[in-house]
Every structure is written in C-alpha cells, then in structure tokens.
Structure 1
Amino acid sequence: MASMDVVPVSSDHNAVQGSDQADGTKDGVSGVVEVLDLEEGEAQKSFYSKGSVIMMVIFSGLAIGSDGYNAAVIGNVELLLAILYPESLTSSIYTRLSNAFLIGMIVGMLMFGVVADQLGRKTGAVATTALLVLGIVLSTAAKGTDETGMFWMLIIARGIAGVGAGGEYPVSGAGAAEASDENKGMRKHRGFMFAMIADLSASLGYVFGGLVPLLLLLCVGQKKEKYDLVWRLSFALGLIPPVSIFWFRYKMAVSTAYRKASMRRQKVPYLLAIKRYWRPLLGASSTWFLYNWIAIPFGIFSGTITNRVNAGDSLITNLGWGVVINCFYIPGPFIGGYLSDKIGRRKTMALGFAMQAVLGFVLGGAYHKIVPIFPLFVVMYGVFLTLGEVGPGSTVVLASSESFPTAIRGQMMGLCSAISKAGAAIGTQVFIPITSGAGDQGAFLVGSAFAVLGALIAFFVIPDVGRRLEDEDENWKKYLEENGWVADWGDNETKDPRGVVINQRSS
C-alpha cells in the first residue's frame, strides 16, 4: 500500500477549500477525513472527527498535567536542597526559587494569549512546549562556579519553564474548546472534557509531583549522598509529557473556528472588547482568583496533618502525606464535569463554592473538637478539597474559554489565568499572618468566607452562554461592524499538514 501522511490532528479541522468542497461527504456522517497521498493519488476515507477531538483532549490534558507536575515538584525538591545546601539556600534564594515558576507562568499566560490569537494555536502550542522542555533541561543540568551560582541558574531555568507552562492555559484552553466545537456530540460533553483536561490532569500532576521524588528516594535507599541525583531526576522526568506530545502539536491543523473567525495579525479593538465582555471577564477572573486563593490551605494544613502523626522528622513520611492529601483533589473533576454538562457551568461553580463554604465553616467552628479525632479531620479536610474541584476547579477554565469569541479567546483566557495566579501569590502571603494571629481555625473561617463570595460572583456575575462557539463569533462580528470596526476575518494563510484534506458538514 502506498505510504500516507496520516496526521493525528487535533480536531482543529481545516475547512475545505476550492474544488474539494464539491465532493463533500454523502454518507451523512460529520467530519469525514479524506487522506490523500499527494504523490500517488490514492485515497482513503476514515471517520476522523470524533477521534481527533479525543486526541486533542488527551494531549491538552498531558500538557496541563505536565505543568501541574513541574509546579508541584519544586516544593518537594526544596526539601532535599535544604538538606544538601543548608547555608547557600538562604531565605531570599528560597523565596526566589519558589516564585520563579509562578512569575514565569504569569508572563507566559499574558504573552501566549496574544500569540495564540495573533499567530495561531499551533504556533503557541509548539512554542510553549519548546520553552517548557528548555526550562526543564536547564533545571536538571543546573551548575555554577559555586552553590549560589547553581541556585541562580536554577531560578532562571524555573522561570523559563514557567513561561512555557503558563502559556499552556490560553493555548490549550482555546484549542480544546475549538476542537470540541467541531462535533455536535463532543460539544454536548465539553464540560466533562474540560474537567478532565484542566482539573484532573493538573491534580494528577500535583500527585506525581510528590510521588516521583518519594519513589526516587526509596530507590536510592534514602541515602543523603544520592539526594543530588534524586532532585535532578525529579526535574528530568517532567520532560516525558511535553516531549511525547511535541510531534502531535507540530502536526496540528487549524480549527474551523480559527479559520473563519480569527483576527490574525490584526489590531484588536480592546476597548470595544472590554465594553462588551466586561461581565464574563470580571466573573471568570475573580472566581478563578478566589479559587486559587482558597486552594492555598493545602500548604498550611498538610503541615498540621504531618504534625499530628509526628511525621516532621521523616522526609519520606512528609512526602507520603503530601501525596495522600493531593489525592483528595482527584474525585472532584469527575463530579464537577458531569454537573457542568447537566446544570451548566455557572450553577456548578456556585454549588461547589457554596458547599465548600459550608463545610469550611463547620471545620472552622468545631476545629478544636474535630482535630483530636484525626481520621475524621483527614476525611473532612479531604472532602473540603474535593468540593473546591467540584465547583471552580472543574469550571473556571471552561467559563473563561466559552465566554469569549475566537478572535480574542486566547488573550482573554490568558488575562483571566494570570489574575488567578496573582490570587495564589497573594493568598500565600495573606494566610501566613492569618494563621499566626488566628491559627488554623481562623484560616478555615476566612477561606470559607471567600468561598461564599465566590459562590455569589459565580451565580450572579458569570453569564450563561450558548454551547456553539460560532454563535458568539457572529455576535462579535456584528458588534464590531455596528461600531465601525473593519476586520479581515479568518486565517487563509496557514497551511495544514501535507496530505490532509477534511470534508465536513456543520453540526
């Protein structure tokens, strides 16, 4: 059989151009792909649309899961670095090392939101993957003329990795939303798919961020002289997901939505955009901010748990309890994803926030009675974490994606996600004085109060939007036309991978 250039494109399907449109599918099935060998002219038909969407979901999930791993692993690596370099790892170096990835993520979110809209999803996807890989390689190989020099190289490398990881949010979020819009059946389950992409994958990344160093320590017999190997391998193993998806991303095709409704390489009317979309922008960014702000108690209460079992003197037990606590995040995306498709994004987010607030007030109010019953405290605290994933954890990325038109989707998502990371940074700083003044009980009560605020914003500010992305694209076009703005819509320049021609019907 003749060789074929069969490309596992994300469901970013290219609209057929020219005479190819005349030979559309006649079997009534949406998204049939005709793969042609350009040299020998043989043709083969396969039902590609649904499979390509699923692939986009899987690979986007791997990308964001990789980001979760690389964000989480540094906290566990720092435990080893503190033992190996007690004098060089000063408080200022420790803070810079902890913040480098976060700052890089904020830069990446803002920068690649623009790249994804102006240069295309594929360009953004390839660039973010390359930067993440570069950052991980430099982190693994960090060296210096002295220990302080090594730490500075590690700080810079983590910042580079953070830029790539942060860029994944607007790139994968916009790309996955448009992929799921290619097929009516997949569009119906977009809420569940996004919960798997954006929430479950990130949660699993955090679990493996603690599990991998733990297993490596066990493999080397917990020998201190092997700690250097452990922390470098912990970084290096983070290369597996981004490297494994690089070829797929390089072979991505352009989505129908981007082909038809992008404003590629054009000036964007930001004032008009804010005037029209201020409400979803405010709702999505503030709820995402609050979600990250509330999620900070994990770092605080994991210490409470390890102290309850006298784990403070054992590095292995500390890492083990961190893995156990992170596992409580995992059930949330399944519940939240299901509810998101059944009752809508806005109601699911508000419900999760509200239930988390109720349980948080119970934990805070009866804290001193619950903590002595250690298994009860662990379970209730675990459910508290789960509820956060049921609501905002499963819906914030999707709400930030569906609410905006294709032309500015990446930039709006990038802005919302950057604001959310500011919530994480501010929450870290604010919780420290709260726990110092009011203890863990006060942190629960304050966190629950913010959950109430999140529920109110989700329910009253975030609008219900249609599931068809094309509808908002058309509304955006009409809005700009009414305001005298002329644009050249769509992408007619970018070429899809060689040999791929897609015949599809609108669904």
Structure 2
Amino acid sequence: MATEPIEVPIEGDTVRRDSIARTEKGRMERLWPVIACGAGLFSDGYLNNIIGPVSKMLSIIYPDAYANSSAQANVSSITFAGTVFGMLFFGYTSDHFSRKWSLFASTIIILLFATLGTASYGAGGSPNGLISALVAYRFFLGIGIGGEYPAGSVACAEGTGELKEGSRNKWFILFTNVQIDLAFFLSAIVATVVVIATGENHLRAAWRICLGIGIIPPLSLLYLRIKLQEPEAFKRESMAQAKTPWSLVIKFYWQRLAIVSIIWFIYDFSAYSFGLYATDILSSLFDDEAPLRTSLAWNILINFFYMPGCLAGAFVADMKSMGPKKTLFIGVMLQGVIGFIMAGCYPQLSKPGNVAGFAVVYGIFLALGEFGPGDNIGLIASKTCATGIRGQYYGIAAAMGKIGAFSGSWALTAIQEAAGDDKIARGRNPFFVASALAFLAGGLVLLLPHIGQDTIDMEDIKFREYLSSHGYDTSKMGLGSVRDIESEENVAVETKEDARA
C-alpha cells in the first residue's frame, strides 16, 4: 500500500467498540437495517437479468428494427452506463450528505423508470420509437440502481459492525450478493412462466409483464427505508461536516482502490455479460425450430447454480481459517480452471444431445464466480477503507465493475461476431477470455490486505491517526449531535477522575 498502517493504541480501539456497544439495541434492531439497506440489490439482479429474455423476445417481435440493428446491444447494456453515473453521484452524496436519503432517492428513481420502461411506447406505435424510449428509460433506471451500491451496500456493511462478531461477513453477503443472485434465478423462472402463460404468439404482452414485475421489489422496501436511521459508524466518522483532505485520502488509498477496482471489473466483465447472453448461448444449442420456452427453461437450471455458490461463499467468508480474501482467491482460480475445461470440451458440450452436460458445467463455472468474487469483492470494497470516504471509495470500485459489465456485453458480441459462422468458436472463445482474466484477478487478490471481523473499526482508527499525523483536525469528523454527546461523556469521565484524585 502507499502508506504503512499506523500502530494505534489499544485504548482507541476499545473506546471505538465501546461506543458502538453502548447503543441499546436488540438483535433484530441491529439486523433489520442491514436487511433494509442491502436487499435493494434484488432490484439490480432482477432488472439486469430479465433484460436477457426480454431482449430475446424483442428480437423475435421486431427482427428488423431490433435484432438486425444496434438496438439489441443498446437495450442490454445502456443500464450499465446509467449505473456508473449513479454509483459516482450517490457515492458522493452518501458521504457528504446522508446514507439514508441517498438510498431513498435511488429507490424512487428505480420505481419511476422501471414503471416507464414497462410502459415504453413509440409515437404512432413505431417499433423504433418504442425501442428508443426503452433505451432512454433504462439509462435512468441504471442511475437509481447505481445508488444502491454506495448508499445501500455501504450502509449495510456499516450496520453489520453492530452485529455479533463471527457473523458479520455472512449477513453482509446474504443481503447483498445473495439478493442479486436470487433475483437472477427468480427472473429466469418469471420469464419462463410468463412465456408459457401468454403463449409465444403473445410476446408483446410477455416482455412488458416481465419488466413490470420488477417494480414490486423496490416498492416493498420504501417503508423500511423511510424508517431507517444513519448507521452508528457514519454518525461517528462522517466527513459530511468537515472538509475532505483529498490529497491525503488519495495518498493513503489509491493503490488499494486500484486493485479492488480491477478485480471488480474482471468479475463483472464475465458475470454480467454471460448472464445477459445465457439465453442466446443456450439457443445456439437447439435447432432453429425449438420454441423459446425450451431455452428459457434451461436458463432456469443455469441460474440456479448461482445460489449454491453464493450461499456457500457467505458462510465460508466468516470461517476463521478462510475469510473473504482466501474465499475470493479460491473461487476465482477454480473458475478459471473450469472455464478452460469448458473451452476445451466445447465441441462435445455444444451438441444438442449434451445440453444437460453443458448446463451443469456452465452452472459450476458461474457458481464459482459467485462463491469467490461475487460474494466477496463488495465486502472487501466496503471494509478496506474508512467510513468518512467509504461511499466514494465503494462507488468508484463498483463503477469500475459496471464498466466491466458494459465492456463485457459488447466484447462478448464482438468475440462471437469475429467467429463468423463457426458456431463452435462463437461459444468457446468467450470462455478463453473469461478464464484468462480470472487468473489475472487471482494474482491481484494476493495484494489485498487481510479482512477480519473488526476491519471497519480498525480502518477508521488507522485513518484518523494518519490524518492527525499529517496535521488534519479530526475533531470535526462525525455528525454534530454525536460529537456533542461524546464530548459530554468525556467531560463526565474526567470529572470522576478528578474527584477520585
């Protein structure tokens, strides 16, 4: 790292943890903010993954205006562009204004543009107008989704600091990445059920129903988010009322942030691009006459494999012998191995009669991605920096991930098109690229610091000490009301000590 960690007196750590412990809250009072803050990522998973089947439906309905134009790539990937903007914007507001209200604003944006996207319509009913409207609405939808990361996930991580030691990583993962993966799985089921229910002659209704269901998750969280309070860590370490010393922040964190960002870029490059095109990949294994519902049904099996991977990773990340860093390393290296095996065996796996084998091996590839980087990269991003700049740090790292997802959706198309009419190369080449990147990510993981149960607390202490050693006045950090309370407590302690003397 750019700066060596500063040794901190034990007393400082004790004071910091005691201040959190003094908050009189029951177990559920401490847990439900974690749920309310993190569970919004379900919307990210659903609204991003459902566009894969929806895009396939639109290509069937509008073969000229959609399938044979740039519209297909635009609809699938424009959300990522909005998400990048949202991550950076809400990363700033969540640090400099409020975690709670940044999160609430992002929820409103998701609700509004998920609704508008469902009702997309072109002037005079023109297909081009409809598709243009959908592209525009999904860009703004992405802005709302982007706010879920630096406001929601960061507040979720800070909330876990109030939970029982030994379970903090698990709860963070269960209400962040597991929510995304659960949404991936359920969106595959929704798409299949809707197509079967409406029939393949009514895909115009089916794609709107699929998108419309995505309105429900953010709507269900509105009340919980209104009732939220700012996390205790944010109240004590916020720089909302202090000037941010950018030169010191960059000097202290730039190398660590660069490593986390590159790993996230690589993970999303594979995870989202493969997720978006899973329906197309499966369709290539069937005859042209095979109904859409067949590939959608197999897509359920593939998305199911996200679940055991992310759930296993959540519990392994809390094991004393493992932790987030080791879990990430093992997951990403094994994923690279499986990817190369898939590429080598693709000529056999790609035969229509072996579709079950393809789905299982491909599912294991996806599961390992969730076990390692899927579960742990957000956890590491939220716990390797101080609370005062956590929203911006996390927002930049997550934005790099979404740039990876955006790049991956375009790159996968380019890789497949470069193969021409060679169906084997179209399916195999993306796995060569993804696996090589997985090994690169594994090497970068070794450069990350150890992540323990108290890393958030210790990082705040180290950062405060670093700022103080460079002449920065840390007395203005934290929200005013909390500073006043702590000042009164310190005066009371000093008075008692004087009386004893």
Residue 78 of structure 2 corresponds to which residue in structure 1? Answer: 100
Residue 62 of structure 1 corresponds to which residue in structure 2? Answer: 39
Tell me if 1:398 matches 2:379: yes
Residue 485 of structure 2 corresponds to which residue in structure 1? Answer: none
1:88 to 1:276, Cα distance in 2 relative to 1, 3 A:
same
**Which one of 237, 260, 268 corresponds to residue 261 of structure 1?**
237
1:163 to 1:441, Cα distance in 2 relative to 1, 3 A:
same
Richer in helix (by share):
2
Is the 8 Å Cα contact of residues 262 and 406 (structure 1) preserved in structure 2? Answer: yes
Is the 8 Å Cα contact of residues 311 and 318 (structure 1) preserved in structure 2? Answer: no
Tell me if 1:363 matches 2:330: no
- Report the CA distance between 1:441 and its aligned residue: 3.0
Is the 8 Å Cα contact of residues 139 and 158 (structure 1) preserved in structure 2? Answer: yes
- Report the CA distance between 1:493 and its aligned residue: 5.7
Can you give the 5+ residue segments of structure 1 that lack an aligned partner in the other structure? 1-23, 34-47, 495-507
Residue 226 of structure 2 corresponds to which residue in structure 1? Answer: 250
Query: What letter corresponds to residue 357 of structure 1 in structure 2?
Result: G
Aligned pair count reads 448
- Report the CA distance between 1:31 and its aligned residue: 4.8
- Report the CA distance between 1:178 and its aligned residue: 0.9
Deviations 1:398-424 (A, max 9, x none): 000000111000111100000011111
**Which one of 459, 478, 481 corresponds to residue 490 of structure 1?**
478
1:319 to 1:374, Cα distance in 2 relative to 1, 3 A:
closer
Give the alignment of 1:124-163 within 5 angstroms.
124-146=102-124, 147=126, 148-163=128-143
**Which one of 276, 283, 286 corresponds to residue 262 of structure 2?**
286
Is the 8 Å Cα contact of residues 90 and 150 (structure 2) preserved in structure 1? Answer: yes
**Following superposition, which runs of at least 4 residues in structure 1 exceed 6 angstroms of deviation?**
none
Query: What letter corresponds to residue 391 of structure 1 in structure 2?
Result: G
Separation in 1, partners of 2:35, 2:360: 31
Deviations 1:144-179 (A, max 9, x none): 323233333222221111101111011121111111
Residue 379 of structure 1 corresponds to which residue in structure 2? Answer: 360
Query: What letter corresponds to residue 297 of structure 2 in structure 1?
Result: G
Deviations 1:315-340 (A, max 9, x none): 21122222221111111112111221
Worse-superposed segment, 234-243 or 57-66: 57-66
Identical residues among aligned pairs (%): 31
What is the TM-score of this pair, normalised by structure 1?
A: 0.82
1:77 to 1:54, Cα distance in 2 relative to 1, 3 A:
same
Residue 298 of structure 2 corresponds to which residue in structure 1? Answer: 321
Worse-superposed segment, 320-329 or 84-93: 84-93
Worse-superposed segment, 173-182 or 206-215: 206-215
Separation in 1, partners of 2:72, 2:281: 22
CA RMSD of aligned residues (A): 2.4
1:476 to 1:338, Cα distance in 2 relative to 1, 3 A:
same
Tell me if 1:173 matches 2:153: yes
1:462 to 1:369, Cα distance in 2 relative to 1, 3 A:
same
Deviations 1:363-396 (A, max 9, x none): 2233334545443333222111111111101100
Query: What letter corresponds to residue 168 of structure 1 in structure 2?
Result: E
Give the alignment of 1:297-446 within 5 angstroms.
297-299=274-276, 302-310=279-287, 313-342=290-319, 343-372=322-351, 373-435=354-416, 436-437=418-419, 438-446=425-433
Query: What letter corresponds to residue 347 of structure 2 in structure 1?
Result: H
Worse-superposed segment, 120-129 or 315-324: 315-324
Higher relative contact order (CA closer than 8 Å, sequence separation 6+): 1
- Report the CA distance between 1:134 and its aligned residue: 0.9
**Which one of 180, 197, 201 corresponds to residue 219 of structure 1?**
197
Is the 8 Å Cα contact of residues 323 and 451 (structure 2) preserved in structure 1? Answer: no
Deviations 1:461-501 (A, max 9, x none): 1111443222211221121122222351111269xxxxxxx
Secondary structure (helix, strand or coil) at the match of 2:332 reads helix
- Report the CA distance between 1:116 and its aligned residue: 0.8
Separation in 1, partners of 2:211, 2:481: 39
Secondary structure (helix, strand or coil) at the match of 2:317 reads helix
Is the 8 Å Cα contact of residues 37 and 225 (structure 2) preserved in structure 1? Answer: no
Separation in 2, partners of 1:228, 1:299: 20
1:303 to 1:193, Cα distance in 2 relative to 1, 3 A:
same
- Report the CA distance between 1:140 and its aligned residue: 2.1
Secondary structure (helix, strand or coil) at the match of 1:330 reads helix
**Which one of 453, 473, 495 corresponds to residue 467 of structure 1?**
453
Worse-superposed segment, 57-66 or 170-179: 57-66
Deviations 1:214-253 (A, max 9, x none): 22222234432xx333222222211111111111111111
Separation in 1, partners of 2:239, 2:451: 22
Query: What letter corresponds to residue 52 of structure 1 in structure 2?
Result: E
- Report the CA distance between 1:200 and its aligned residue: 1.5
Residue 116 of structure 1 corresponds to which residue in structure 2? Answer: 94
Query: What letter corresponds to residue 83 of structure 2 in structure 1?
Result: M
Residue 205 of structure 1 corresponds to which residue in structure 2? Answer: 183
Is the 8 Å Cα contact of residues 63 and 241 (structure 1) preserved in structure 2? Answer: yes
Query: What letter corresponds to residue 204 of structure 2 in structure 1?
Result: D
Deviations 1:94-151 (A, max 9, x none): 3332232111111111111111111111011111101101111211222332323333
Separation in 1, partners of 2:191, 2:348: 35
- Report the CA distance between 1:255 and its aligned residue: 1.6
Separation in 1, partners of 2:303, 2:297: 10
What is the TM-score of this pair, normalised by structure 2?
A: 0.83
Tell me if 1:451 matches 2:438: yes
Separation in 2, partners of 1:62, 1:341: 20
